[in-house]
Amino acid sequence: MLFLFQKATISKMKKPFVYELKTSFRLSISASKGGFQIMRSKETGVTAASDYYLYFPSVTASRLYLYPVATGHFFYEPGYLRRRTHYDNFLIMHILNGTCTGACQGKPFTASKDQIVLMDCYEPHEYGNRSSDSILDVVWLHFDGPLARSYYEIITSSRGNVLTLPNTYPVAHNMRKILHLFRESSPIREASVSSYITQILTELLNGRSEADTDSSRSYVIENSLAYINEHFSEPITLEMLAQNSNLSPYYFTRVFTAETGFTPHQYLIATRLNSAKFLLKTPGMSIKEIAFTCGFNSESSFCSTFKKWEKTTPSEYRMHTAIE
């Protein structure tokens, strides 16, 4: 499916048009290129050279894919601080120059040049440039999707919110590809963009600093995680995962748990439930349809598992989190 980034109707306007978002960003549409809007931030503490693009996914993408919510390249001035109670998606920041300080879920962090920050913006968070004289240069991507939380949890549970990679090129390259699509007013092929985001997150999951060891063992588990993330809606057994890894079920479980902090069964259930929670927030699918879509063999099995893990029922969760 071809999906265009918000086709502009402002090309006939003689004066700039100003948006004010809930995040207190003020965005001025300073140009229109090929029917697409190019936005430049008017937020205090962000230089005029910074550009920013919003995206609204199709219903199909919001149910099936990882998708961009917004992407941009910002130059933060000394003293800049952004603090939010929530901004419902996840954020990847690639620090090109300078030092970024902040906090995510109450945990402070500092990230320097060439490091990657991964944040859960559903929770209280903040970030900024505490330098007194240096610009903070960042390419960033807000994203979401049914598997976004599963990726976030498995990456940060073992590596934290600030990641150091031996080679940042794969992450930087894919973030630039997404940004370039918007800058060039290209048609947005949602499956392709989803694959770019998947590659970014897989690299964050797979990438190890030089101090990390046992890469062969990690490679086996990375393949298993990728398989679960792609096939969680299908029947998956421990024996199947172990056989695909050429390991015994017992040893596979030991290695998987050591690498991820979850047993294979726990990770599979968490992935299915995270996908279900995402679908419960949007209208259009019944609880029974969500149950089967997410790999549960019955509505009752889904409801009992959901209640056990989330301490609430799917119906109650939907009622309190539904997107208007």
pLDDT tens for 82-96 read 999 989 999 999 999
Residue 36 belongs to some domain of the structure: no
Same domain, 226 and 136: no
Query: Angle 289-291-292 (CA atoms, 0-180°, nearest 5)?
Result: 70
Question: Is the predicted pLDDT of residue 32 greater than 50, yes or no?
Answer: no
Q: Which residues pair with 267 in a beta bridge?
A: none
Question: Model confidence at 22, in pLDDT bands (50, 70, 90)?
Answer: very low
191 shares a domain with 84: yes
Number of domains in the chain: 2
The residue type of 16 is P
- 162 and 257 together in one domain: no
Taking 80 as the threshold, does the pLDDT of residue 4 lie above it? no
Q: Examine the pLDDT at 201 and tell me if it is beyond 80.
A: yes
Query: 60 versus 296: which is more confidently predicted?
Result: 296
Mean pLDDT of 237-247: 88
226-239 pLDDT per residue, tens: 899 889 999 999 99
Task: Specify the residue for token string 């001035």.
Answer: 77
Residue 99, in any domain of the structure: yes
145 and 229, same domain (yes or no): no
The vertex-211 CA angle with 208 and 212, nearest 5°, equals 45
Is 143 among the domain residues? yes
pLDDT at 243 over 60: yes
Torsion of CA 118, 119, 120, 125, to 10 degrees: 170
Does residue 27 sit within a domain?
Answer: no
Whether residue 243 is found in the same domain as residue 109: no
* Residue 1, domain member (yes or no): no
Identify whether residues 317 and 264 lie together within a single domain.
Answer: yes
pTM for the whole thing?
0.63
Q: Give the residue from 156, 185, 206 where a domain finishes.
A: 206
Predicted pLDDT of residue 116: 97
Same domain for 172 and 66, yes or no, is yes
3-class secondary structure, 157? helix
Phi and psi (nearest 5°) for 237?
Answer: -115, 160
Residue 98 has pLDDT above 70, yes or no: yes
Do the domain assignments include residue 5? Answer: no
Q: Are residues 116 and 191 in the same domain?
A: yes
- Give the pLDDT score at 10: 26
Phi, psi of 8 (to 5 degrees): -80, 145
Domain of 120?
Answer: 53-206
* 230 lies in some domain: yes
Most confident of 15-24, 123-132, 219-228, 242-251: 123-132
Q: Are residues 109 and 244 in the same domain?
A: no
Q: Which residues of 217-248 are buried (b: 16+ CB within 10 A; e: fewer)?
A: ebebbbebbebbbeebeeebebebbbeebebe
Boundary of a domain, candidates 165, 186, 206 = 206
* Whether residue 154 is found in the same domain as residue 86: yes
Last residue of a domain, one of 206, 227, 245: 206
129 with 231, same domain: the answer is no
Rounded-to-integer distance, Cα 310 and Cα 298, Å: 18
CA distances from 27 to 36, 66, 158 (A): 15, 25, 37
Domain assignment present for 305: yes
Do 120 and 198 lie in one domain? The reply is: yes
